[in-house]
A and B are shown apart, each in its own frame.
Chain A
Amino acid sequence: SVSSSFPFSLLSISSRKQRKNTIRDGFEDILEERRNSSDLKYALRCYAPVLYKGVTPCKANMLKNIVLQSDQLRYVINQVSQESGEAPDIIQEEASVILEEMAHRLQISTVRFFAFALSKAFKTLFQHVCVNEEGIQRLQQAIQEHPVVLLPSHRSYMDFLLMSYILYTYDLALPVIAAGMDFMGMKFVGEMLRMSGAFFIRRSFGGDKLYWAVFSEYVKTMLRNGFAPIEFFLEGTRSRTCKSLTPKLGLLNIVIEPFFKGEVFDVNLVPISISYERILEESLYARELLGVPKPKESTSGLLKARRILSEDYGSIHVYFGQPVSVRSLAQGKVNRSTYNLFPRHIPRKPMEETQSFVNDTAYRIVRLQEDNMVLKPWVLMASLLLQNLEGMELSVLTEQTVWLRGLALSYAAFLDWPDHAPTAKVVSSSLALHRGLACVSGGRVSLVVGEPLGPVTPEEALFNRAVSVLSCASYRNQVLHVFLRPAMLAVAMLHLSDEVYNCFSFLWDMFSNDFILCPGDTVQDFEEACYLLVKTGAVQMPQQDIVMTDIGQPTLSFFNGLLEPFLQGYQVVCRYLCEEASEGLTEKQYIPAVRSFHSVLCVFTGNLRCYEVLSSDMQKNALAALLRMDAVRKVKVADQVTLIVNKMAVNSIDDILGKNRMISHINQTQISPSLSLVAVAEDLCRDGLTPSYIR
């Protein structure tokens, strides 16, 4: 039994509110019709979408003129002109060039071309492309009533073509899509994308006032006039890990502002969850996370990617969520009249109240995306395999998958489990689809590790192993949002030395870069975790205590193992910063340094299984957490950003994580036995082994 310093009197009331309505729409396979009728006819069919309040579509050129003539832009042009001493005409010309570089040139003919080409490609690549048609109907309604912003999850390059393809299929207004400038590198393709509705923004334009003004006015003009739905990715970039990324707020701020300024009555945000059974970029991502640079987008690269056309990528599920009214969300949170005292065309930093509202909204939308992500059986299998890296009996895997399925369903996971199929069949067909990741031999299932020809250095072996672990982790990660909160509670419970809630809250804070945890929701998440664990009988809560039940052990152990790689990974980072980091470590050096520090640990101990810390994603998140907790500070020296480590603070964080792990070992040996990393690291350091020695 563990006592908690948490006011449980609140619990019963607010956790009742927790129980979300998890009734979800059914899906239709849009490829079915494509397999039965002419793609050409489909691409050439009459396309007449309904528009916002019946506006007439605006030609791309007219749109540019409206933007260039706008008071907002003219104001900034004059401002920049005064600051730089250049004539306004010249700045105006600059603005015009920026706009030219940015603007979309949506053309129905290009869309038709894509409709044709993608039909062919999708049919080859995927078994099904499933869409919830009720969601489409809701969207159609929303488009007519309010400006609409489409917010899909981002896991693949495919996402935005897929979105436009679906909207075309259902005769909905085609969106304009914010795309990263990197696409522009692909000459021909870039232009094609532009003509299918993409507009391009530079990845960073921090202090460039003019760029920002052109960009935000361009987006707002489209939004205010309702010319087309606006689409962008809240996560900012493709998630290489398949975990949702911490949302970026820039564009969201831009699309919400017209509501606060009264320029539109409301804005509807539509969360869209795109789930891939197998991601096209699967192993590419793993390599990228391990520091093999991302291949530059190029047309020839795309053509080489043709070979992927010969593989089976399973199904895609696209779920259009309930449109979220910004007006309703902001009710009582933002006082719009604070915008009354300032001319609306003068750019202004959003007020604190607004900023926190936008931040909150962004998190909520990403959580809605997560909620409606469709999970395949393989996701559950991957979660189990990663806790058994030495492999497991097929029968055990099957049995535990069934057990995990029950758990996931009772936690309202959106699981796409084939109806009426025997479990063994489900497991084997999942293994077949993912044969690149896992194989069965002699009744045992284990991860596939790419074995290059010829002799392999220990580092190469480690790298190959890490690729397969990270690839597999990208599937486990898909289910984390379902289990995260109870899993953190499980870890906290097994950590006896502190109060459960405090420990939960520590983990919550620590991991808030790795997972989508809405700011300020610690208490609510704790309640949800308690509620879920109680619901599935893993714990009981007599009075102020949280007690594991007799049948709770497997659940808590599984959860503990689920978070183990993260706990370990963060610990390695802490160790590195305490033991190894040199004075004047720059931000740039940080990732390669952690990576090689860890390689040393692994290569020399041979049996260490913490591969995930090799991922730059985890390293960055761990650093961000330490920065947030003031254990590390950033100092700008000349052009370099240097990290100043507060070793005391890092040490004590490491301590907490370490205690956690020790405890977890004792309790879960049967599922995930592993070594104490700390001990190994300490040994190594005592032996004077350093990363540089290895190099």
Chain B
Amino acid sequence: MAAAGVGQQWVLVEMVQAFYEAPTYHLILEGILILWIIRLLFSKTYKLQERSDLTPKEKEELIEEWQPEPLVPPVPKDHPALNYNIVSGPPTHIITVNGKECINFASFNFLGLLDNENVKTAAQASLKKYGVGTCGPRGFYGTFDVHLELEERLAKFMRTEEAIIYSYGFATIASAIPAYSKRGDIVFVDEAACFAIQKGLQASRSNIKLFKHNDMADLERLLKEQETEDQKNPRKARVTRRFIVVEGLYMNTGDICPLPELIKLKYKYKVRIFLEESLSFGVLGEHGRGITEHFGINIDDIDLISANMENSLASIGGFCCGRSFIIDHQRLSGQGYCFSASLPPLLAAAAIEALNIMEDNPGIFQTLRAKCERIHKALQGISGLKVVGETFSPALHLQLEESHGSRENDVKLLKRVVDYCMNSGIALTQACYLEKEEKCLPPPSIRVVVTVEQTEQELDKAASLIKEAAQSVLN
């Protein structure tokens, strides 16, 4: 081995000469050493498992001894999530929950399109032509002409180059994020981001940096930190993609994201922005195009917009839109797109018709906004409950002003408020979360959803009823 070390300094000729001059035993010894090195290089690294010297009998005993945990722990009989509300009949403006007729303040049917006759007729026509299922993923004869039409219409509606549809709202952003952001990339994400975003981030295995909810200073701090980090290792920085993932209107808080400031940060620090608009699409802006229209921002400044078609459009599924350069990539890399059956054509047809209605009645968004503002105002000043969310958010949260001991207690209290309202004909629901799974668990809340179908009297009635319920339960 030492000879090899010295050998490096020799010129080639000398090496060959030395090789000829070396005694045979020396060559044999070196040969063996070389073979040994090769063996070491190519043999498997030793495995811990193989070092145990257990006899087969001992192994059998161990196997005999091992007791796994039960597949699932038992669920307590009184778990609030175990007994669902049963809705009989359509979940529209008037809804029958657990046998009681109520006005619906719980479903995200913002524009009231679930019950719309035109939408139903379009879906019926599609059902007559295509049947229900597609029997295949988009790649394998699961692409229908309606899918292409819907994608084109969505792209046109949003004024982007391209749109791509998914068959499940949740899977949309959860598939889109890991299509771009990979291991080693960095994602800056608002801590109030919804669960679908969290799952998408987890699937991407990227480096995740949470910033405080809507706190641009905190985001900038993180971006600056990253910038100093990058200066230390510019080679790595050149291949590390960065993304900011935010929601237009936050599902968990009802807040709007400060998009203009985000755009500034985007260009300053060269970070791409992914925007989840499930709550703001078909709600904000003059034509319902969402938060970009609300702020008057060039939509091309946002790298990717995703939204589901399960709220305003009252269908099923989701879509992403943006420039072709970005969106097209998902057609081969979006897992929920490639590996899942495509959207049933009747649901696509329903979404197309819903888009038609949105385009034909731009006034609908003003109506919705006025109603949101009305109930937001009416719900102020309830003792014990505070309203969280923008005045124009169609889904707002009622949180307890102060906690009554534990989360469990709070949930129970809010449930009593909900039950009280339900008994008097207003259907409400608490916002449900998986408490152990959420990254930053939002406080328990009642979610009040406004739709254009609710009349002003109904809005006032709901507000006064909630006030009454809070008074009787909380005081």
Asked if A and B are interacting partners, one says no
Interfacial residues, chain B to chain A (CB-CB below 8 A): none
Interfacial residues, chain A to chain B (CB-CB below 8 A): none
